[in-house]
Amino acid sequence: MALIQLDEEQVRTWTRAQKDEWWLRNVFPRRHATAHRALGLTGFLLGGVLAATAMYIGAKTGISIGVGLTAVILAFALYRIMDGAGIAKDFTILENNCTQSIATAAGYMIGPMISSLTAYMLVTGTIIRGGTWWCGCASSRSSACCWRSR
């Protein structure tokens, strides 16, 4: 099946509003829900795990890690597992992207914490050792993770 697309004249002459309307009528899959509670909840939980992981690694090494690719892989695997267990249907690409975006946003929110902690130790010459309670809040509305680093 060939992909539906605008011809060259339509691309040159149509306004942005006309192109958007055409895309919504012809391309956008209306049968796919793109936002519902399961997406937000899954992204929230996945973001909490990723934020905790990134905060732990950052507190131990002083290096911040990227969580975007990890969020994509874990969201995809989680949906496949839930589909196999019969808990939920397999999510579409749009739904997986939505969950991955929420999880990535929560996971990256701890970056300033890691850099400020490292900067504090460099400026004061104080090394914060294990046994200190670290509390990393990934987002005020998303995930909050607290643990004791060793």
For 24-57, write each residue's pLDDT tens digit.
Answer: 888 776 665 556 787 888 888 888 888 888 888 8
**CB atoms closer than 10 angstroms to residue 150:** 9
Is residue 132 very low, low, confident or very high in pLDDT (cuts 50, 70, 90)? Answer: very low
Q: Is the pLDDT of residue 116 over 50?
A: yes
Provide mean pLDDT across the span 113-133: 73
Q: Is the pLDDT of residue 63 over 60?
A: yes
pLDDT of residue 34: 59
**Predicted model pTM:** 0.60
Per the CB < 8 A criterion, the answer to whether 108 and 137 are in contact is: no
The three-state secondary structure class of 62 is coil
Q: Which residues of 35-47 are buried (b: 16+ CB within 10 A; e: fewer)?
A: eeebbeebbbbbb
Provide mean pLDDT across the span 7-25: 90
Is residue 130 very low, low, confident or very high in pLDDT (cuts 50, 70, 90)? Answer: low
pLDDT of residue 29: 67
User: How far is it, in rounded angstroms, from Cα 82 to Cα 63?
Assistant: 33
Per the CB < 8 A criterion, the answer to whether 65 and 58 are in contact is: yes
Residues 6+ apart with CB under 8 A from 128: 117, 120, 121
Name the H helices within 5-133: 8-13, 16-26, 37-61, 68-85, 93-108, 111-124
pLDDT of residue 2: 65
Is residue 16 very low, low, confident or very high in pLDDT (cuts 50, 70, 90)? Answer: very high
User: How far is it, in rounded angstroms, from Cα 1 to Cα 11?
Assistant: 22
